[in-house]
């Protein structure tokens, strides 16, 4: 049974509204501390130990980002899974550089994102825009809008690998 009240207190408001599993922190760079990497003058690693749903740390660029897994099912192709998530990125925050072991097909439910790729041009995405990310592409979703961005993403991934690899 899902405790919707506890979920809402922990920052999983969208998940609670849909009766879904608890929100978990999304992928983020962990080694040097994101604030230090972006010249924000914050000590390296600050905010790394913040519990899910805790206060948003202005020095941690990924603080407050959540990824709620909506469903996970076998894919028609043997050895693959289909996973769907709802990702929320607060204003002025980002997902952190990461990749997936399969394709990502997504839709911007709300907000404005600059999707930055290591090996390709950035894409500006707005409410209502679909997007596609190839398998293994290292990318970072930056909220460049005025509201918390909400993205619905569906992945077809190798079942032997984790959904997200951070860099």
Per residue in 132-159, pLDDT tens? 999 999 999 999 999 999 999 999 999 9
| Cα(23)–Cα(46) distance, integer angstroms | 21
Q: 89-101 as b/e, with b when 16 or more CB fall inside 10 Å?
A: bbeebbbbbbbbb
Q: Measured between alpha carbons, how far is 38 from 152 in angstroms, rounded to an integer?
A: 27
Instruction: Please tell me the predicted confidence (pLDDT) of residue 54.
Output: 55
Q: Domains in the chain, ordered, with CATH?
A: 4-166 (2.60.120.10)
Model confidence band, residue 120 (pLDDT cutoffs 50, 70, 90): very high
Determine the straight-line distance between the first and last CA of the chain, rounded to whole angstroms: 35
151: nearest Cα among 82, 66, 44, 78: 66
Please state, in angstroms and rounded to a whole number, the distance separating the CA atoms of residues 47 and 51: 9
pLDDT at 102: 97
Buried b (16+ CB within 10 A) or exposed e, 75-85: beeeebbbbbb
Residue 62 is predicted with a pLDDT of 86
The average pLDDT across 5-27 equals 42
Question: CB pairs under 8 A, 24+ apart, for 116-124?
Answer: 116/140, 116/141, 116/142
pLDDT tens for 31-67 read: 333 333 344 445 444 333 334 455 666 677 888 899 9
Closest to 155 (Cα-Cα) out of 129, 137, 140, 135: 135
Q: Give the pLDDT of residue 151.
A: 98
**pLDDT, tens digit, for every residue of 91-112?**
999 999 999 999 999 999 999 9
């Amino acid at each position: 049974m899902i405790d919707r009240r506890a979920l809402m207190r922990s920052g999983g408001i969208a998940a609670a509204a849909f009766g879904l599993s608890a929100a978990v922190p999304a992928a983020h760079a962990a080694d040097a501390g994101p604030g230090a990497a972006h010249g924000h003058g914050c000590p390296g690693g600050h905010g790394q130990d913040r519990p899910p749903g805790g206060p948003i740390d202005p020095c941690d660029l990924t603080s407050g980002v959540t990824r709620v897994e909506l469903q996970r099912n076998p894919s028609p192709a043997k050895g693959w899974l289909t996973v769907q998530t709802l990702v929320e990125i607060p204003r002025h925050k980002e997902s952190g550089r990461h990749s997936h072991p399969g394709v990502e097909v997504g839709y911007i439910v709300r907000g404005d994102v600059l999707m930055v790729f290591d090996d390709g041009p950035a894409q500006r995405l707005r409410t209502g825009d679909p997007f596609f990310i190839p398998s293994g592409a290292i990318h970072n979703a930056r909220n460049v809008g005025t509201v918390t961005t909400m993205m619905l993403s569906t992945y077809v991934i190798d079942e032997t690998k984790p959904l997200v690899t951070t860099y």
